[in-house]
Amino acid sequence: MSRAVAFISLDNDLGPSWAGQGRDVAKWIEEKAYNGEIEYTHWAIHTMNMIARREMRAALGNAMRFWQEHEDKKQQEIGTDELV
């Protein structure tokens, strides 16, 4: 059984203050993607908070770039291994 998340839909308001905000989740995803600790996840943002929406888009856009960079690196390593 896989524990990978295939899709996440984010609102900024996650309930009580101790739960954090959607922008916190987006930044967490960004960090984990940068470190190669989570796999690519499809996402959507449905918050009405325009400032949070902008921050979440930026963080998740960065995450997508990091996922692509990790994938490109894997492909280069595979290509290099074939040349040996």
- 2 domain-assigned: no
Average pLDDT of every residue of the chain: 90
pTM score, two decimals? 0.84
Mean pLDDT of 48-67: 97
Residue 22 lies in a domain: yes
Question: What pLDDT is stored for residue 81 in this prediction?
Answer: 58
Q: State the pLDDT at residue 78.
A: 80
In a domain, 35, yes or no: yes
How many separate domains does the chain show?
A: 1
**Residue 16 in domain:** yes
- Taking the C-alpha atoms of residue 29 and residue 11, their distance in angstroms, rounded to an integer, is 14
Query: Is residue 34 within 8 Å of 70, Cβ to Cβ?
Result: no
Residue 34, domain member (yes or no): yes
pLDDT in tens, 58-81: 999 999 999 999 999 988 888 765
Contact yes or no for 60/29 (Cβ under 8 A): yes
C-beta separation of 14 from 56 below 8 A: no
